[in-house]
Structure 1
Amino acid sequence: MEHHLTVSRTARYQQLGTLSAHTRRVWFVCHGYGQLAAYFVRHFAFLTETDPATVVIAPEGLSRFYLNGTGGRVGASWMTRDDRLNEIQDHINFLNQLAGNVLADCPADVEVTVLGFSQGTATVGRWLAQAAFRPAQLILWAGSFPDDLPAAAAQYLLQNLPLSLVVGTDDEYISPTQTAAIQQQLQQLGATPQLHTFRGKHELNRAILEKLAYGSRQ
């Protein structure tokens, strides 16, 4: 018979910039399947380099594994289908604790952006449905919003929330048909997603990131 035991463990995250009373913007960015936060966060370095009032936080999935065989490069995952519900809740607990620590060092009116990439899009959706704060904007990049959230919780989160859906024109994992289905799902939940596309594959894009980061301030 299978049993579960809740234990303490050490979670890892990366931070760019310094949290202080002068922090005005915080980005939480969640990587995709098989990535590590230390490499993923590099894509966002320009945010803190150009604006000392911005801090980027990149949490890392709790499950790490060798990408090929039993050695070499290591990647991380947010969840698999095995013991799925406990994995999801463990990550929500981790992200809530992390956000609480980070935001406690910021002014009360700090602007929070949450970005999920690939597998990270479902992770941030589930997390924000149980988070103690509401982001200023949500970015779902090359991934979908989780379809297993209770409709009422999803609708409450997405109502009047600035939401961007980003996908490359040559994304090998998300077809135009799938993108349209994601848009329809979000609209049915009361969201008004803004679609951004770029010429590229299953990857981040600097120009789109800049547009999302600075568009409202230009």
Structure 2
Amino acid sequence: MNPPLTEVEVRILGSLLEKEVTTPDNYPLSLNALLAACNQTTNREPVMRLDEDALVPATVALRRRGLLRQIQRAGSRVTKFEHRLDEELRLVRPELAVLGVLMLRGPQTPGELYARTERLHPFADLADLENLLESLITREPEPLVARLARRPGQKEVRYAHLLGGEPAQPDASAEAEEGTLPTRRADPGDDRVGALERTVDELRAEVAALRADLDAFRAQFQ
């Protein structure tokens, strides 16, 4: 994509892609709900701490490029936002699911993508997901996904989106040094904690959206 999207623009679009599926009753998102979605601490890498001063200019830039639509329904003072990636890039739901997870979580292996796209779009199996990745790599007129160089000590390759430009390739020496560090054994409780944190973040986004709608409703009678 030329020019490449900024990190904030990528986070906005990724968050909208996610919330369109996970919280459809509150989609499109108000500015407050969008801000909360961008600043989630779960399902985000890296975690961001954005404010309105960073968010608003990015939404304006995305609107000018046709990737974001601003909506204000009749009788409401609340402005809401929805992505237009499906229209502008002619993408279908499975492609949007993969891109959304890559935009929110960074480079990932097929196995990681298969697990993390489950709530956005369930793939039949890993081969189904890998076939879609290949189609995004060879897509015309320009690819949307790239295959990264294999990391030292890793059997699986990782994939990254190209909406923000060419992804940084891993540094072999740094990765090798990192690979010598002891790793922590996964705790089964982590999955339960992660699920609870995701639920809390989604509830916060819903509350933020409802609060904004309520404030706008009250403003009509002042």
Name the structure with the higher helix share.
2
Name the structure with the higher strand share.
1
- Structure having greater relative contact order (Cα 8 Å, sep ≥ 6): 2
Q: TM-score, normalised by structure 1?
A: 0.29
